[in-house]
Amino acid sequence: MSSSTDFVASSPRAASTIAFTNAAALFVGYGMFSVFLGATFFVQAPSALTGYGFDASVLRTSLEFMLPGTLLAIPLGPLSGGLVGRYGPRRVLVGATVLGIVAMAALALFHGHAAEFIVALVAGNAAISVAYASMPALLNQHVAPHDTGIANSVNAVMRTIGGAIGSAIVITILASSSHTLTTPAGSFSVPTEAAYTTVFTLGAIAFVLAALSAAFGVRKHHVAP
């Protein structure tokens, strides 16, 4: 009897699907940190001095801007399961990444008002939650039952790698564009608005790559023997 490892090695289509699902996980992980880090710093910027931002305190940032999307992730768990059962994990993953593109594009283009920024953040959080919910189901269709744990562990590692790359790039972009502002209270450095636009645009590109991976790299339903 052949093992699942033998199956994957002898099934290029299954191996391709697993590889592209992991690639999608990496890109979504990158996009996630573009949302979280970029948005967190942006909303705390002093608008009177920088021309952007919402003067949010740490508490206001957490409750007003970040909490709505986090709360939405709670019901999205069972809802995503229902969508996966009805439409299949591949379609759900594609739909989630397309929503992520829209959310990140909205953050890049429309960030002058708190309400529109919050809506974009909620959409971004929804995209990430649904995408991550669909990936285990997608992997489970292409590996043997006793290898599902390994497949999902590798996928989780790819998410972490994507997040690590994303956080490093976001911080680098913001830090490299910082300029010094002098006020009666003292001098401090702030990034330019263009830097945040770049951060959110790169997040949108990451979701585009995730969508392409899911749409063209992931094969239709196939169950490993």
Per residue in 68-77, pLDDT (tens digit) is: 998 998 898 8
**Strand, coil or helix: 187:** strand
Q: Is residue 9 part of a domain?
A: no
Q: Is residue 5 part of a domain?
A: no
| Residue 139, CB-side half-sphere exposure with 13 Å CA sphere | 26
Count of positions (residues) in the chain: 225
**Strand, coil or helix: 113:** coil
Distances (CA, A) of 90 to 93, 118, 194: 5, 28, 35
Q: Is residue 73 part of a domain?
A: yes
What is the distance between the alpha carbons of residues 105 and 115, in angstroms, rounded to a whole number?
A: 16
Q: What is the mean pLDDT of residues 107-122?
A: 95
Q: Is residue 12 part of a domain?
A: no
Check residue 225 and give its pLDDT. Answer: 43
Check residue 78 and give its pLDDT. Answer: 84
pLDDT in tens, 120-141: 999 999 999 999 999 999 998 8
What mean pLDDT, rounded, does the chain reach?
87
What is the distance between the alpha carbons of residues 210 and 21, in angstroms, rounded to a whole number?
A: 8
Tokens representing residue 46 in the block:
């002093």
Q: Is the pLDDT of residue 31 over 80?
A: yes
The identity of residue 134, as a single letter, is S
Q: What is the extent of the structural domain holding 130?
A: 21-47+55-217
Q: What is the pTM of this model?
A: 0.88
Q: What is the mean pLDDT of residues 128-155?
A: 90
Least confident of 102-116, 144-158, 209-223: 209-223
Q: Is residue 225 part of a domain?
A: no
Q: Is the pLDDT of residue 85 over 80?
A: yes
Residue given tokens 């709670």 in the structure block: 74
Check residue 185 and give its pLDDT. Answer: 59
The identity of residue 140, as a single letter, is N
CATH of residue 134's domain is 1.20.1250.20
Q: Is residue 100 part of a domain?
A: yes
Check residue 224 and give its pLDDT. Answer: 43
Least confident of 2-6, 161-165, 201-205: 2-6
Q: How many folded domains does the chain comprise?
A: 1
Task: Name which residue leads in pLDDT, 204 or 182.
Answer: 204
Q: Is residue 14 part of a domain?
A: no
Q: Is residue 66 part of a domain?
A: yes
